[in-house]
Structure 1
């Protein structure tokens, strides 16, 4: 795929422009978007991704278009899975609803930066060392197995905010206040610089994005080795993610089988990467295939897995809801839940 320098420049400029406008608007008017506002934004970004993929088809052919769509769907699914962690962080740190959009936007910008770095490093490694495909493939298979194990051990009652070295360092190094002060990250009180809870939220989101980038970049390189498609698939997967956070809200908890679906996708891509490396080193000449799984097969596996996962999750959630309503005392609990409470913070 021949991508001219000016195409790269135009893509990056447009991305920065969109993010810049979004940040400026959020910085001036942090708020919780309405369902209509969030739905329009998500629809626009999904539509732009589809138009972009069709543009790739028109200019470079169906093969590269298929690679983009497969990569975009995979990265979008991984990003939605990332939202589960965002929900836990926002809840554990009691972020006011009208400030969550700002935190999400900064977290997404950090994710773009981290993924951009990993994309560059991954491209350089692939160009120089083909054996890195063994490494990527093994890592994805390990991640897929870990997702299944985490799902089997999952307990909603024990969900806690992830902790890591960066957050522990910030707590030890700086004094902190307990109250949120809008989008302000640091304050000066009595001549001393202190940090606000918002800065800790940004650190938590950013460090989580860093860990997720370790999964997403090998996954996308298992579907395409074109840096331009890798980059754009990641950009479109992250754009509109914060609006999606508010749009689907409680639906996130209904996608109970999403991690299992992702484990299937990541395991498939991991095997695909290993087969590619075996083929390169002529270690799979005995196989009845040429060592390369066609992109249409990859796209079919991804789409079918996501559709089945979503449908099964919604059926399971509805069954659980019906079972809960039939339990003794459920009607009284529902009645108490419908009593109007205080307004949002």
Structure 2
């Protein structure tokens, strides 16, 4: 599919326009997005991506359209998995809820710029060196294996090395200064922790890109399709975070599903590399006659694996228990942290979620109540949050949490 320059220009303008719209109308004024707001905008961005895919099918043909949808689904699934790490970063930096949107949007913008650069670098490598398909295939197979390893726990408050190092090297503030990036303290220009959060999100996402770009090149080598699939998978990721952040721990089998998908694409890349082989130590530098996996088959595998993974996670009682336990820990910690939010309504919302999560754990039965008891320090944390809330109610005050 040959894409004229004016189509590229329109596409890039549209993507940039959507990002600018987010900056101007969504994150300029700090606020905590409601569930309805997050759901509406997430649905809108997914709808735009699907409509664009239909356009690719109509104007580009079945092959390009199938490649786009396969690439979009794979990149979107990888993006959701990335949200786990974003969640850890935001909580380890103790980012107030109302400022998380700004940090996420900057991270997404940086990610799009970095991935666009990697897309063109990857395309140039593939065009020049056929053996790059072997490299990409091996990267995906190694990544698939790493995804099967257990996830690490959340870092504890103050443990982040980047924060300690930056505070030694740069003049930084301890609080978020109403969401500003820089401020003036004692007559000196100072950096707020929000800058560090953005750097951490951006740097982490560069590492994610080293996996996701080979994955989509395993499905299509059309640069326009690669770019648009990646761009639309990232757009709306901020809204998706606030829509599903309470359910992320529920997707206990997502990593397994992604491991299967990446391993499948890795095998597909290696088979393609053998078919295009020119390495002298493989078959004397001649192409190897092997069966190649079609894009249609790839799309089918991706859809089936994702559906099975999500359904298995959603209906798993273990997943439900893990979600309630992990969220109870986060919400109790957030409630007890006087700097987490200045919004009394948001603090009350956090406490009510904590109450619901405790009820969920009890309703699941003795086995899962024991899981909660075994969770290090959880019960004490929940009781401290409850005592703080009860004390505030007894005083007849809005429950704003303890002050440090």
| TM-score between both structures, scaled by the size of structure 2 | 0.77
Residue 42 of structure 1 contacts residue 244 of structure 1 at CA under 8 Å; is this kept in 2? yes
Q: Does 1:284 align with 2:288?
A: yes
Structure 1: 5+ residue stretches without partners: none
> How many angstroms apart in 2 are the aligned matches of 1:17 and 1:76?
20
Q: Which residue of 2 aligns with 1:263?
A: 259
Q: Deviations over 1:144-194 (max 9, x none)?
A: 11111x23xx35476889967x76764442122111112311222223232
| Residue 269 (structure 2) aligned to one of 265, 268, 273 | 273
Q: Which residue of 1 aligns with 2:184?
A: 188
Larger Rg: 2
Tell me how far 1:29 sits from its aligned partner: 1.1
Larger CA deviation: 28-37 vs 195-204: 28-37
Residue 94 of structure 2 contacts residue 157 of structure 2 at CA under 8 Å; is this kept in 1? no
Tell me how far 1:327 sits from its aligned partner: 2.3
Q: Which residue of 1 aligns with 2:313?
A: 313
How many residue pairs match? The answer is 336
Task: Provide the alpha-carbon RMSD of the alignment.
Answer: 2.8
Of structures 1 and 2, the one with the larger relative CO (CA 8 A, separation 6+) is 1
Q: Which residue of 1 aligns with 2:41?
A: 41
Residue 67 of structure 1 contacts residue 223 of structure 1 at CA under 8 Å; is this kept in 2? yes
Residue 182 of structure 2 contacts residue 190 of structure 2 at CA under 8 Å; is this kept in 1? yes
Q: Which residue of 2 aligns with 1:122?
A: 122
| TM-score between both structures, scaled by the size of structure 1 | 0.89
Q: Which residue of 2 aligns with 1:81?
A: 81
- Equivalent residues in 2 for 1:319-330, closer than 5 Å: 321=321, 325-327=364-366, 330=369
Q: 1:12 to 1:131 in 2, by over 3 A?
A: same
Q: Deviations over 1:179-238 (max 9, x none)?
A: 111231122222323211101110110111111111110000000001111110011101
Q: 1:46 to 1:159 in 2, by over 3 A?
A: farther
Q: Which residue of 1 aligns with 2:329?
A: none
Residue 254 of structure 1 contacts residue 317 of structure 1 at CA under 8 Å; is this kept in 2? no
Q: 1:163 to 1:305 in 2, by over 3 A?
A: farther
The residue matched to 1:182 in structure 2 has which SS? helix
> How many angstroms apart in 2 are the aligned matches of 1:160 and 1:258?
27
Residue 137 of structure 2 contacts residue 266 of structure 2 at CA under 8 Å; is this kept in 1? yes
Residue 361 of structure 2 contacts residue 368 of structure 2 at CA under 8 Å; is this kept in 1? no
